Amino acid sequence: MTSKRQSAIAKAVARFIPQAPFYDAEAIRSRAAQKHLRNLPPDKAVWLTIIAYIRHIYTDYDALRDENYESEAARFFVRNAINSKLQQWRAGRFLMIEEAQTAADKAPVHRGKSGQERKI
């Protein structure tokens, strides 16, 4: 059975990235429904999840972080790759420079198994 929130998330994914492959859309839907995002409106949870998913799956962000780039710098360097993927998926919205710079401050914090906080 699908909850109202799950339905709203599924609709937001279809609306934001209509041409995303099924396996990517499913992963995004699943991640947007996670417990630590429940305090956000579905549209915002989906948008943040889309950006984080693309950043970690389709860009060099993690490699840049492994090379000791600060998160804000790494996010800046992968912004064009994120927007390219959004364009490929026929998104109607793109990541702006200001949004990329402040996303780290606004992103929900997730506490991992080790107890360390990390932003998604």
Question: Is the residue at 82 inside a domain?
Answer: yes
C-alpha distances out from residue 22 to 1, 14, 52, 75, 112, Å: 20, 10, 17, 25, 27
pLDDT in tens, 87-97: 999 999 999 87
pLDDT of residue 2: 77
Q: Which domain holds residue 87?
A: 4-108
Largest Cα–Cα separation, the chain: 44
Query: Is residue 119 situated within a structural domain?
Result: no
**What does the alpha-carbon distance between residue 11 and residue 106 come to, in Å, rounded to a whole number?**
23
Residues 55, 78: contact at Cβ < 8 Å? yes
In a domain, 113, yes or no: no
pLDDT digits (tens, 9 = 90+) for 51-80: 999 999 999 999 999 999 999 999 999 999
Would 91 be classed as within a structural domain?
yes
* Residue 37 domain flag: yes
Percentage of the chain beyond pLDDT 90 is 76
pTM of the model: 0.81
Report the pLDDT value the prediction gives residue 96, as an integer from 0 to 100: 84
Number of domains the chain is built from: 1
Question: Is residue 34 over pLDDT 60?
Answer: yes
